[in-house]
Chains A and B, each alone.
Chain A
Amino acid sequence: MNEYKFSDIYVGLTESFEAKITSEMQDRFLKICGDINPLHIEEEYARQNGFAYRVVYGLLTSSFYSTLVGVYLPGKYCILHGIDIQFSAPVFIGDVLKVTGKIIYINDAYKQLEIKAFITNQNNKKISKSIIKTGLLHE
């Protein structure tokens, strides 16, 4: 786990990591949130609606934005203030996602960081992008 302090942070600082989506993740997410929409749990329904396979929950893939800030950038001392997410492509079980975040703005007075982040799949296609705002527990 990274432990960036406020004094370590600069505009342009970038971190990334990879994660593979498994069927177990999809099933666990269903148990957590109870979203029984058939697009996420029925292969046939997904195919009938133009998708090759059942679609992974968008908020499951977006949970990696939490990992990005909580573990990598800034890491241990992060306090999440907000996330604005836009989805651009579906994710399927077995996809390998790369999550990348870069510091784009620092509010020195209130010690808030603004991070531009995005997730790509194994084909380098962007599946979502986000603007994340975080505070820091440590100066």
Chain B
Amino acid sequence: MNRDEIFSGVQEIFRDIFDEDDLIIEYSTNSDSIEDWDSLNHINLVSAIEKEFKIKFALGELLTLKDVGAMIDLMLVKLK
């Protein structure tokens, strides 16, 4: 799975979690970019990504992520 395919899947997850069918994310999108991106929705995002891509994150990995691009970089490593 390449970076674009991962990004497309992550975008669909964001649209589902935040109930916005036309939500557009970018690599620089972070929790300041989306009003409803609170702690509970953050957990929901991580769970949805884990289930969709069949991967697991450790808390230490997640704490260092600063935006969507960093998340996708981490996913690329896990999906190799």
| Interface flag for B43 (CB, 8 Å) | yes
Given contact pairs A105-B51, A107-B50, A109-B62, A81 touches B56 in the complex (Cβ within 8 A): no
Chain A contacts of B51 at CB under 8 A? 105
Q: Are A109 and B40 in contact (CB under 8 A)?
A: no
Chain A residues with CB under 8 Å of B61's CB are: 109
Q: SS class of chain A's interface: helix, strand, loop or mixed?
A: strand
Q: Do the beta carbons of B56 and A108 come within 8 Å of each other?
A: yes
Smallest Cβ distance from A63 to chain B, in angstroms?
A: 21
Q: How far is the CB of B62 from chain A (nearest CB, A)?
A: 6
- Nearest-neighbour CB distance to chain A for B12, whole angstroms, equals 18
Interface members, chain B 34-80 (any A CB < 8 Å): 40, 43-44, 46-47, 50-51, 56-59, 61-62
Give Cα A110–Cα B62 distance, bound, in whole angstroms: 10
Considering only residues 89-112 of chain A, those with a C-beta below 8 Å from chain B are 105, 107-110, 112
Flag if A105 contacts B58 (CB, 8 Å): no
**For residue A108, which residues in chain B have a CB less than 8 angstroms away from its CB?**
56-58
For A109, the chain B residues whose CB sits under 8 A away are 46, 56-59, 61-62
Contact across chains for B58 and A107 when beta carbons are under 8 A apart:
no
Q: Which residues of A contact B62 (CB under 8 A)?
A: 109-110
Confirm or deny: A12 has a beta carbon within 8 angstroms of a beta carbon on chain B: no
Considering the complex, give the chain B residue whose CB is closest to the CB of A114. B47
Q: What are 5 of the A-B contact pairs (CB < 8 Å)?
A: A105-B51, A109-B46, A109-B58, A110-B46, A114-B47
> Which residue numbers of B lie inside 8 Å of A, CB to CB?
40, 43-44, 46-47, 50-51, 56-59, 61-62
Chain A residues with a Cβ under 8 A of chain B: 81-82, 105, 107-110, 112, 114, 133
